[in-house]
Amino acid sequence: MDDPWLGCNPFDPAFRDDPYPALHRLRALDPVNETPVGLWRLSRYADVNRLLYDVPAGVRTTDGTLPGVDESLSGQRLFMLQQDPPTHTRLRRLVSAAFTPRAIAALRPSIERIVDDCLGRVRDRGAMDVIADLALPVPSTVICEMMGVPVADRERFTVWTAKATHGLASQFLSPEALAETQAAGMSLAAYFQDLIAARRGHLTDDILSALIRAEEAGDRLDPPELISQAIGLLIAGFETTIGLIGNGVRALIRHPAELEKLRAQPELIGSAIEECLRYDGPIVLTARVLHADAAFGGKTIPKDARVWGLLSAANRDPEAFPEPDRFDVAREPNEHVAFGGAAHFCLGAHLARLEGQIAIGRLVARFDDLRLVSDTVEWGPSLFRVPGKLPITFRT
């Protein structure tokens, strides 16, 4: 092919709409390939899984540089996702207690209340925007309550958080987009500076208070790290879960037989959420840097090379998933890689799963005849595949 991206350019708007045909072609044509910008891509499940778990790799180069990210961007430089051990281990340990399975299970009544309130507000309309009315308010309310961030401020930071995600790909942004991303990061930093200043002396048992205590202890967190963790956790706490719920509802409506199967067997909600994550998860790829030469598919990728593990390609690999393009809410086994793996396995995986199960499960149980208003998705400002709007109609 003359196209140096081999027909699979993640910056093509058509790719965001439906990346799977291009990912299938790439996997068949050249599953281990170097891109025009020097990045390598892995599209087979076995290779992506090996990148995540087996080969020496991290998110920084062996000399500690964070490639492809402007480290001057507020909120990017020090967040745990942008660190390798031992710094990553230290930062993650500070908040990990809030995200254990037991801690998340204790949130179920609160999440159920939030979901029921959301659905109750739209019940008599016969229509809703799945994003504005459910997928955004549920995880954003939950993470605000967990962190001790005022839910009333959500309107202020929702757009900032979405735009700040583009800092993860700052090298590919236009000057205008980069300026927007930097402005969003600075706005979030200023917001948390004010919130932290107000919170000191009035600490409770929320995550932000725990971070402030760690910063005040002096040996575990410094002031810039405190702000970076607060920003990063807020963004990670709801941005991709919006995509899980939105894309999941869309997938179910587009597969009415599976929707009816779930309605008839509500106990399938756990496996249904795993299938939503595998079939159309919000994160297409995860980036790693090799810390030693590694062979994939007969090719040697050198130390310090940047590698994209194409999660969405791995999750549709026919070698790992029979009939990978078939949406099956009862699929077992389903060892998808939507949450990444190893040291950087998603800290909030248990929370995202529970929020998805309750939000989608209760939507399906309470409302009948779910229909998409449009087959075209209006994507939001996030770097990830997160719908901005998803209008549907229903009967009660």
**Strand pairing report for 306-309 and 40-42:** parallel
Radius of gyration of the chain (CA): 21
Are 181 and 173 in contact, with CB atoms under 8 Å apart? yes
Between helix 256-264 and helix 269-280 the angle, nearest 10°, is 160
pLDDT over threshold 70, residue 1: no
What pLDDT score was predicted for residue 69? 67
> Range with the lowest mean pLDDT among 123-132, 169-178, 204-213, 328-337?
169-178
| pLDDT, tens digit, 9 for 90 and up, residues 320-377 | 999 999 999 999 999 999 999 999 999 999 999 999 999 999 999 999 999 999 999 9
Q: Is 46 exposed, middle or buried (0-12, 13-18, 19+ CB in 10 A)?
A: middle
Confidence of residue 49 (pLDDT cuts 50, 70, 90): very high
pLDDT band at 70 (very low <50, low <70, confident <90, very high): low
Buried-exposed string 192-215: b where 16+ CB fall within 10 A, e elsewhere: beebbeebeeeeeebbbbbbbebb
Average pLDDT estimate for 91-99: 94
Superfamily the domain 13-395 falls into: Cytochrome P450 (1.10.630.10)
Q: What integer best gives the mean pLDDT of the chain?
A: 94
User: How is residue 298 written in tokens?
Assistant: 């007969």
- Cα 359 to chain centroid distance, Å, stands at 17
Between 123 and 67, name the one with better pLDDT: 123
Q: What is the band of 243 on the pLDDT scale with cuts at 50, 70, 90? A: very high
Nearest Cα neighbor of 238 from 135, 383, 95, 309 is 135
Q: What is the DSSP code (8-state) at residue 255?
A: -
Predicted local confidence at residue 76, as pLDDT: 46
